[in-house]
Amino acid sequence: MPDNPVPHQPIVAIIAGGEGRRMGGTAKCLLKLGNTTILERNIKRLSPQAGGIIINSNNHSEELCLLSEQWQARLISDSAKYSHCGPLAGLASALSTLAIEQQAGAQMPTGLVTVPSDSPFLPEDLINRLGTIANKQPHKVVCASSLGQTHYMTAYWPLSVYPQLEAFLQRGERAVRFFLKQAEYETVDFAAQRVNGIEYDPFFNINTPEDYTLAQSIIDVSQ
């Protein structure tokens, strides 16, 4: 991540904390679609709207370290105190990192956008649309939704939510949706995408080898 984040543009945290067990332990963000890893696809798509990129992963492989350096992204692990907090561990670790830097005098935007690392088709206007609502309701979390489903970890989080999240986790709570009910949130709906007759959710994520095959087929027909 650049030393001086771009003012008013949110930091983006790509959350890659899962172990990928159903994919044979493979880091899903490093799977290739065409000639490009999913991680690179997402950085290319999101970085023009972002003030900086954080990659949250506990697997600091040589390839991941090289890619983070190439794209000037900061690679962080889950903080030890959040290591058993499930999907919220990556969010809490990223917010903690930004809070420490803000306390040290670094200039920070008001928000953090999180996206999962295994979603290869994120909308190009994702950050702008989430940010539009966040600017109108700056104390609320703004989540993406599609096809009747809310994507709790594809969201714009005000940095001010961190103390509330930390207290939530210290009580032993773990469920993202329960935290969001307490923090209050809005949703922004995104339409399904279609390529040559194949309709897919823009927030489709790869959990299994079958999902990976489907993602490859979408890439193949779109080229």
Residue numbering of the annotated binding site for Mg(2+): 118
Distance of CA 114 to the CA centre of its chain: 3
Helices (H), 141-175: 162-170
Helices (H), the chain: 38-46, 62-70, 88-103, 126-136, 162-170, 176-183, 209-222
Instruction: Name residue, tokens 């599609």.
Output: 146
Which residues are annotated binding-site positions for GTP?
Answer: 15-17, 28, 56, 78, 118
Pair 50, 10: CB distance under 8 Å: yes
Instruction: Name residue, tokens 């697997």.
Output: 59
Interatomic CA distance for residues 201 and 150, integer angstroms: 12
Pair 17, 58: CB distance under 8 Å: yes
Residue type, 205: N
Which residues are annotated binding-site positions?
Answer: 15-17, 28, 56, 78, 118
Which tokens hold the place of 192?
Answer: 């399904």
Instruction: Name residue, tokens 């295994």.
Output: 118
Give SS3 for 175: coil
C-alpha atoms less than 13 angstroms from C-alpha of 50 in its C-beta half-sphere:
25
